[in-house]
Amino acid sequence: MSEPVFKKSAKERYPKHFEIPEMVIKKLHEWIDRSDIPMPQTALGIVKLASVVRAYNLYKSINLLLQTDHWEDSAILSRSLFELLLNLEEIARDEERAEIKAKKYLRFQELQKCLHTINQVDYGIQTGRHHPEQASKLRDFQKRTKLVFSEFISKRSRSGWESSWCGKSVYVLAKQSANPMRINQYKIIYSLFSDFSHSSPVSVMTAMSLGNSPEETEQLFRSHESDDKQNMGIVLSLSTIWLLELVFIGKSKLPLYDAKWNFEVLKRIYKTFGVEPPKLPWE
């Protein structure tokens, strides 16, 4: 029996690719992981800063998964990053209504917390973990929740509640985005990433490469490696671009932010993936 062959990690095989997230994470660490960032005084400010921090944390996780050849799992987090960007764009697109939308966004967060509590208590009652008298308290809590968050009640949904804070699907948010590339990103990329989120057959079979002979298996492995590199590059490049766009929207909450840095990162992405970069404004 031949000895098993262990290939190097993605980070070791493609060091130039991973210089990009290292560059991004290092700079965002300087801008975000500090104690002197002023506390936002508006709902919009809170949402912007929280979204930037969330995006930063997602990106760090995406990078760790990509480094160790788990691009399929990083794609799931990348999809979450895309949705975060779409929601922040929806809030910030209209300056006159941005604060109103941000407050609605925060109210929906409180509704979600209430619904999670309802589900947990109900589960405890059904499994005997809670005393039966909790059922009466749970019904009262459900009634109060409907009164307080009546704006999110929906007759269309099975749960009786809107599935999003703005009543729009991810597709609608992408279609209504001021960025014309969003709908293309949704159709081409979001659909692929969703396959992994929902554990569809394509997500299961990416881990399998079996041929009818050693030669065929070797050929499949080479093809698999090529596909992995391409998909890793898609997740890495798009996640980085989406993060840059999120940080740009929330830039007013980061005192040290420098817009030129965005262009420098983009320039590195273009160079790494062999694309001719556009001329920078100051060049």
pTM of the model: 0.86
Among 259, 256, 81, which Cα is nearest to 170's? 81
Residue 262 in tokens: 């965005």
Has residue 164 been placed in a domain?
yes
CB proximity list for 39: less than 8 A, separation 6 or greater: none
**188-206: average pLDDT:** 65
Q: Tell me, what's the pLDDT at 1?
A: 45
85-115 pLDDT, tens digit each: 999 999 999 999 999 999 999 999 999 999 9
Show which of 168, 192, 217 is a domain's final residue: 168
Distance from C-alpha of 241 to C-alpha of 247, rounded to nearest angstrom: 10
Has residue 160 been placed in a domain?
yes
Q: How many folded domains does the chain comprise?
A: 2
Distance from C-alpha of 246 to C-alpha of 240, rounded to nearest angstrom: 10
Show which of 147, 168, 189 is a domain's final residue: 168
**Long-range contacts (CB closer than 8 Å, 24 or more residues apart) made by 24-30:** 24/59, 24/240, 24/243, 24/244, 24/265, 25/56, 25/59, 25/60, 25/63, 27/261, 28/56, 28/59, 28/247, 30/256
Residues 163 and 203 in one domain: no
Residues 204 and 86 in one domain: yes
